[in-house]
A and B are shown apart, each in its own frame.
Chain A
């Protein structure tokens, strides 16, 4: 089934720990994104990649890093988690032709204590 998978589904993490959220898509989309969703703030872009080998910073990149070694995978790493990073994280992807929609994964619920 074509789509985006994210792992883990949820995680409770102690502050200061390192955590990598995984994202894989099988739609051969060139562009991939990481958003965080917080109540009352909507979804905010953390990092993006418009093609394998390149990444860029979004609206709220501090404390997060990404890599894009291939087309399908786009992991998000929290080097030293802080409680303010408690959120629901969504990976998304899109084609690069004009008007291509952005499609979202099921999300990872992360709690940092």
Chain B
């Protein structure tokens, strides 16, 4: 079963626009929610992460919004740039001291110039 559901599968945004990717999870024991960015031929790179004790975290143009009651979290990319074109994965894990991440299926983002 897919414990973390991610949408949309693909997304096209104009340069300067806002990219929004959504994820929903089922396991209420998850308490760590990272987002990864992956360029073709490369490994996933940690972008930003949040814990459920806060509703929002911002790092530069990237913001995670977290809704614990709805079991949903989303990634917002403000002022999207062509260099942001990549595949984005949400993930979740329980903080047991080490992290067995459960990933969403990924969103391919294309930012048009």
B99 interface contact, C-beta 8 A: yes
A58 interface contact, C-beta 8 A: yes
The 0/1 profile, CB within 8 Å of B marked 1, for residues 45-68 of chain A is 100101000000011000000000
The 0/1 profile, CB within 8 Å of A marked 1, for residues 75-108 of chain B is 0000000000000010000010111111111100
Min CB distance A83 to B, Å, is: 22
The 0/1 profile, CB within 8 Å of A marked 1, for residues 32-54 of chain B is 10101000011111100101000
Which residues in B have their C-beta under 8 angstroms from that of A104? 36, 43-45
Instruction: Determine the main DSSP class of B at the interface with A.
Output: loop
A-B contact pairs, 27 of them (CB 8 A): A40-B105, A42-B6, A42-B105, A43-B44, A44-B103, A48-B98, A48-B100, A50-B97, A50-B98, A58-B100, A59-B102, A90-B43, A94-B98, A99-B32, A99-B51, A99-B95, A100-B99, A101-B46, A101-B49, A102-B99, A102-B101, A103-B46, A104-B43, A104-B45, A106-B42, A106-B43, A107-B41
Min CB distance B64 to A, Å, is: 14
Which residues in A have their C-beta under 8 angstroms from that of B49? 99, 101
Q: Decide if B89 touches A42 in the complex (CB within 8 Å).
A: yes
The one of A31, A58, A103, A105 that contacts B98, using a Cβ cutoff of 8 Å: A31
Query: CA–CA, A90 to B36, complex, Å?
Result: 14
A2 interface contact, C-beta 8 A: no
Query: CA–CA, A59 to B2, complex, Å?
Result: 11
